[in-house]
Amino acid sequence: MAQATFHFPHGFLWGTATAAHQVEGNNTNNNWYAWEQEPGRIIQGHKSGLACDWWNGRWREDFQRAAEGAQTAHRLSVEWSRIQPTPDRWDEEALDRYLEMIRGLVELNITPMVTLHHFTEPLWLAEIGGWENEAAVEYFEKFVRKVVQTLKDYVNLWCTLNEPNGYVTQGVVLGIFPPGKKDIRLAFPFICNLVKAHAAAYHAIHSIQPQARVGMAIYYRSLRPAKPWLPLDHLIVNLQDKMFNDSFPRAAKDGVVRFLTFKRRIPEAKGTQDFLGVNYYTRDYVTFNLLRPQELFSRRYFRPGAELSTTGFIANEPLGMFEALKWGLNYRVPMYVTENGVEDADDHLRPRYLAEHIHQMWRAVNFNWPIKGYFHWSLIDNFEWERGWTQRFGLWELDVETQARHKRPSADLYADICRENGLSADMVARYAPDVFSILFPN
């Protein structure tokens, strides 16, 4: 049997990622809580409810699990609606609780990365139009300043927006996230206001904490022409790639928002990216279809024969990870894989998925690409937005009724990777033997 280890650079960060609404519980003052109350919005009528009970303190035991698993970083978000429950009031007790959580990470030698907007905003902001209203930009800047002033002694990595491209697509184009619009014409003003908000947050953070590193987490979706010989398939892939993957990081690079035929200069956004967060899960194959105008005249599907996750939501396409990181090179800043994972309640696919994707990241690192860390999604099963509790992404299983945690085998694999700062032949042989010959060929 081949014996080798794919090592990563000294100081590489290994962690997991979570988001406030998905793990804290009883977030009742934001747009997602209101969304959950509307019939038909969430699969099987699920509600976030107590979630993982972090707001009541169970973050302590989960952070301890991360530390015992040799994780050196954790990406989490703060809930705007808790910190600013009304436009004219700050909740200092909520800020103190977040400060306690961040201190808890630092005391365990876990580096925090804090996300400032992860899909949720206060009800009062939604009531004035949310990101359709340019006033949201100034409100967000004030919120960011308040948070950074509180946490600056412990946090150096800030993620302004999580998956703003996915947020706009799901909320404004497809209507399956709040605000539930289905009008692609609304996407451009939403994008512009989010870019302005990112830029305002970037400059605010650096004015308070000059040494901070600030970026966005972009949902990179690998898109391939279903028929490589058909020019129309290439055309539609290029169009969707530029619209979905490039719109936000390109605006942060050159200060110009481009979407379909629209173009707007936002000069304050130029150069507002100290790092690029890459969220990668899977790959789609795209073919031109004249009968689907609502999907930009295309049909998207997974590769026939691809290995699928429990509910068919994700296809295991590790080569897409290498592609995502190669794409990220275009922005000429350091990169973090801010999310990567698979929903897999039985933990049959996750060990293979994890090993193959980390191997592709190692390939990229060996080209001397500036990849600084990896955050697995997720530490523990959590409320997966419109999919409720039907998808299980955690290294640790959560019993929603009892709040009991149960370790999955892939948690041990990931702990071994974190301790070794690499992926070894022994690990793959033990946890994912069916891909051993792929990763360690004779």
417, part of any domain: no
- Sign, CA dihedral 339-340-342-347, equals negative
- Average pLDDT, stretch 167-196? 96
The model's pTM is 0.98
The residue range of the domain holding 331 is 10-403
Residue type present at position 291: L
Which band of pLDDT confidence, cut at 50, 70 and 90, is reported for residue 297?
confident
> Does 77 map to a domain?
yes
pLDDT in the model for residue 399: 98
Assess whether pLDDT exceeds 80 at residue 337.
yes
Residue 285 belongs to a domain with what CATH number?
3.20.20.80
Q: Average pLDDT, stretch 138-166?
A: 98
Q: What is the domain count for the chain?
A: 1
Q: What angle do CA 297, 223, 347 make, to 5 degrees?
A: 120
Where does the pLDDT of residue 1 fall: very low under 50, low under 70, confident under 90, or very high at 90 and above? low
Q: Is residue 49 part of a domain?
A: yes
How confident is the model over 27-50, as pLDDT tens digits? 999 999 999 999 999 999 999 999
Q: Is the pLDDT of residue 59 over 70?
A: yes
For the chain, the average pLDDT equals 97
Q: Can you give the pLDDT at residue 331?
A: 98
Residue 300 domain-assigned (yes or no) = yes
82-97 average pLDDT score: 98
In this prediction, residues 354-383 reach a mean pLDDT of 98
Structure tokens at 391: 């998808």
HSE, side-chain direction, 13 A CA sphere, residue 172: 19
Q: Which residues contact 430 (CB under 8 A, 6 or more apart)?
A: 413
Identify the three-state secondary structure at position 41. coil
pLDDT, one tens digit per residue, over 246-290 is: 999 999 999 999 999 999 999 999 999 999 999 999 999 999 998
Say if 219 falls within a structural domain: yes
Whether the pLDDT of residue 2 is over 80: the answer is no
Tokens of 26: 């009883």
Question: What pLDDT is recorded for position 221?
Answer: 97
Residue 433 lies in a domain: no
Residue 207 neighbours by CB under 8 Å, 6+ apart: none
Percent of the chain, pLDDT > 70?
100
> Within a domain: residue 442?
no
Residue 162 located in a structural domain: yes
The residue among 377, 278, 286, 373 whose CA lies nearest residue 321 is: 278
Spatial CA neighbour of 104 closest among 161, 155, 53 = 155
pLDDT number for residue 291? 87
Query: Above 90 in pLDDT, residue 294?
Result: no
Look at residue 316 and tell me whether its pLDDT is greater than 90. Answer: yes
| Integer CA distances (angstroms), 323 to 34, 100, 217, 291, 384, in order | 38, 38, 16, 30, 26
Instruction: Give the model's pLDDT for residue 3.
Output: 85
Tokens in use for 318?
A: 């590790």
Q: Confidence band (pLDDT; 50, 70, 90) for 406? A: very high
Using alpha carbons, list the distances in angstroms from residue 275 to 147, 214, 244, 302.
20, 6, 19, 30
Q: Which two tokens mark 14? A: 């290994």
